[in-house]
Amino acid sequence: MMANKEMNNLLDDIMIEKIATAPVNELMAEYNISANEIQTTQSRFLDRVKKHKQQLKKNRLKDARAQLEAEKKKHDTVDVAGFLAKKGKDAKAILIDLLLQQKLPENLTIAHREGKEFTDEDANQIIANLIAMGVIDVDDKGD
């Protein structure tokens, strides 16, 4: 049964290819159709392809938005204060420890502060981002 379905699909593909590559005058003669009918069919086909491509783009955008929302939720659920209390250190001390232990990602960069002080809030935000990215494991028992 499956072989028959595959055979029918193959024959359909061959027929579609034959029709798609055939000259217009040959199609007109073989199927007794006019140039207007061919143009109408071609226009409908192109319209369907365009709509399908638009739907695919919308679906990709929808998926990307869903992934972005999931990432935002990760950041929203980070309990930096609880993590710091558990460690008994402030965020700056933890960042220094991670730097000394070479546990920070190689591609991690911190923006130039233009002479401004690196605040505790800045350090807390970096810790929150590292937790959300999975660089820091909040459930890590051995330290």
The answer as to whether 101 is a domain residue is yes
Of 142, 135, 133, 131, nearest to 83 by C-alpha is 131
The answer as to whether 139 is a domain residue is no
Of 42, 69, 96, the one marking the end of a domain is 69
Where in the sequence is the domain holding 88, given as residue range(s)?
78-133
Of 44, 69, 94, the one marking the end of a domain is 69
Does the structure show a pLDDT above 50 at 143?
A: no
69: Cβ–Cβ under 8 A, 6 or more apart, which residues? none
Q: Are residues 50 and 98 in the same domain?
A: no
The answer as to whether 140 is a domain residue is no
The answer as to whether 142 is a domain residue is no
pLDDT tens-place string over residues 72-128? 887 777 788 888 888 888 888 888 888 888 887 777 776 656 667 778 888 888 888
Q: Are residues 10 and 62 in the same domain?
A: yes
Provide the whole-model pTM: 0.45
Of 17, 39, 69, the one marking the end of a domain is 69
Q: Cβ of 136: how many Cβ atoms within 10 Å?
A: 21
